[in-house]
Amino acid sequence: MKKKMKMTGNYVIFSLVFLVLGYIVAFSYHQTKIEHKNPAITGKQWERDLELRNQLVELEEKNRSLQKELNIKQEKVRNIEKEISQEASVYFNLAEDAEKFRMYLGKVKVKGPGVQVTLADGDYNPEEVNVNNYIVHEHHVFKVINELYISGASAIAINGQRLSHNSYILCNGPVIEIDGYQHPAPFIITAIGDADVLASALNLTGGVKDSLVNDNIQFTLEKKTEIILEPLLGS
């Protein structure tokens, strides 16, 4: 009898457990179904969504069109910048060339390294009958000037007077005349250029220096780190 009552109690407990379990499962299923159920969309909401979607598509199309237009304009700007850059380069080169021409024509003051050559009359020799045999003549000056130009001198002056492409030098007794201006000895010739090259050219064996010394001319050569030459007289 006790055994039978015990088994009946177990059945009751199991029934209650299964009942509660079934209720929980049913409740969970019901809640899940409610949460996933799509809310009803009214016709007015659908029309509003469609309108917003169309506006978005229209804006995207407009953005693409504006982006294409921007790319075209940016390309035009780049081309204009290239043209301006090329023009600026051309104008810079023209200005640089103009400055060089002014320098060669003696229109502007110039400075730079170079050499200084001094030509002085030879020591007086009472046994020498002809005084012209130991004084500096224009052809002595020409020898130095020509060698300097050949060696790359960009500007030359004699006793501070700048020479131009058409300068003339004349011997007038004890003085020489340069473009109408007279200068007495000693004659200081300054030239702007590569000092080492200019000095080497003048010191060549059998060259200008040896020729002048053989003519009893006192020849002095100095390298200068900076020489300043004034513009041409009357320029």
Specify the DSSP class assigned to residue 134.
G
Is 8 within the bounds of a domain? no
91 and 114 share one domain: no
Give pLDDT tens digits for 76-110.
888 887 788 777 777 777 777 777 777 777 777 88
For the chain, the average pLDDT equals 80
For residue 191, give the amino acid letter: A
> What is the structure's pLDDT at 53?
82
Task: Write a three-state SS string for 121-177.
Answer: CCCCCCCCCCHHHHCCCHHHHHHHHHHHHHCCCCEEEECCEECCCCCCEEEECCEEE
Is 26 within the bounds of a domain? no
> What is the structure's pLDDT at 91?
75
Give pLDDT tens digits for 105-128.
777 788 999 999 999 987 766 565
Is 3 within the bounds of a domain? no
> What is the structure's pLDDT at 25?
58
The tally of domains found in the chain comes to 2
pTM of the model: 0.59
> What is the structure's pLDDT at 21?
60
Q: Look-up: residue for tokens 């209650």? A: 16
Measured distance CA(4)–CA(34) in Å, rounded: 45
> What is the structure's pLDDT at 208?
93
Q: Give the mean pLDDT per block of 10 residues along the chain (235 residues).
A: 49 58 61 55 75 82 83 82 78 75 76 94 66 80 94 93 87 84 92 95 93 91 93 68
Measured distance CA(218)–CA(148) in Å, rounded: 18
188 and 128 share one domain: yes
72 and 116 share one domain: no
198 and 87 share one domain: no
123 and 81 share one domain: no
> What is the structure's pLDDT at 34?
56
> What is the structure's pLDDT at 128?
58
Domain boundary among 81, 105, 129: 105
